[in-house]
Amino acid sequence: TQLLEQSPQFLSIQEGENLTVYCNSSSVFSSLQWYRQEPGEGPVLLVTVVTGGEVKKLKRLTFQFGDARKDSSLHITAAQPGDTGLYLCAAPLVGDYKLSFGAGTTVTVRA
Amino acid sequence: GAGVSQSPRYKVAKRGQDVALRCDPISGHVSLFWYQQALGQGPEFLTYFQNEAQLDKSGLPSDRFFAERPEGSVSTLKIQRTQQEDSAVYLCASSLGGDRGAFFGQGTRLTVV
């Protein structure tokens, strides 16, 4: 059983559309991170959220951390082909140091 | 260098062969992690170092896997007597620790034939 459940597993949309990716758990986290990974590359850190209810914006990407610090979402506005990739959420359990990753959401944005 | 560097990028090994994968972390990063990633899946934890100390090796799949970081900088992941199920991408990440996120290398894609 995955500690972090991501949904959907796959998402294919047209350029200009919006999308949301979800990351859920029954565990409480001290922080949660989102990464994007392109084929043949390692994951690249996008953002870290720390406070329950926190919202962070990175250009067209909006990240939200749930009030109870058990879940998070990533929303992309007006998606572009360059947004294509595997989106991963990751978090350490409270008091732990190692990151546990979700299985990822593969996003494909068609031109 | 500016980022985490892993070598080789690709490795093809015959079943039964020993392999060694190298990771050069970001200078000054205390924490170093090794992860294994299957195609289309999230990375799975293998082992963790804080400086030269290996604090957690609970994710290593078998005693054929061994990791070291003797001087608290460069790390090597060694796999003895490779098996086909060892085929995967092996990712190294380094971090300053805490909630500051991890920086990953490009990974080594290991194929055992």
Rg, C-alpha atoms of chain B: 13
Domain with A62, as residue range(s), is 5-110
| Contact: A98, B44; criterion CB under 8 Å | no
Report if residue B43 sits inside a domain.
Answer: yes
* CATH number for A48: 2.60.40.10
- Supply the pLDDT for residue B63: 96
Q: What pLDDT is attached to residue B2?
A: 79
Pairing of strands A71-76, A19-24: antiparallel
Q: How far apart are CA B47 and CA B67, in angstroms?
A: 8
CB count in 10 Å sphere of residue A12: 12
Spans of chain A, pLDDT less than 70: 1-2, 94
- Cα–Cα dist B36/B1, whole Å: 23
Nearest CA in chain A to B41: A103
pLDDT tens for chain B, 113 residues long, are: 579 999 999 999 999 999 999 999 999 999 999 999 998 889 999 999 999 999 999 999 999 999 999 999 999 999 999 999 999 999 999 998 766 788 999 999 999 99
Nearest to B104 among A43, A92, A102 (CB): A43
CATH number at residue B48: 2.60.40.10
User: Is B63 part of any domain?
Assistant: yes
Task: Indicate whether B107 belongs to any domain.
Answer: no
If one counts the domains in chain A, the total is 1
- Of how many residues is chain B composed? 113
- State the residue range of the domain holding B75: 5-98
Number of domains present in the structure of chain B: 1
Beta carbons of B95 and B112 less than 8 angstroms apart: no
- Chain A residues with CB under 8 Å of B56 CB are 97-98
**Given this model, what pLDDT does residue A1 score?**
57
B99/chain A closest Cα distance in angstroms: 6
From B12's Cα to the closest Cα of chain A, the distance in A is 16
**Residue B1: its pLDDT value, please?**
54
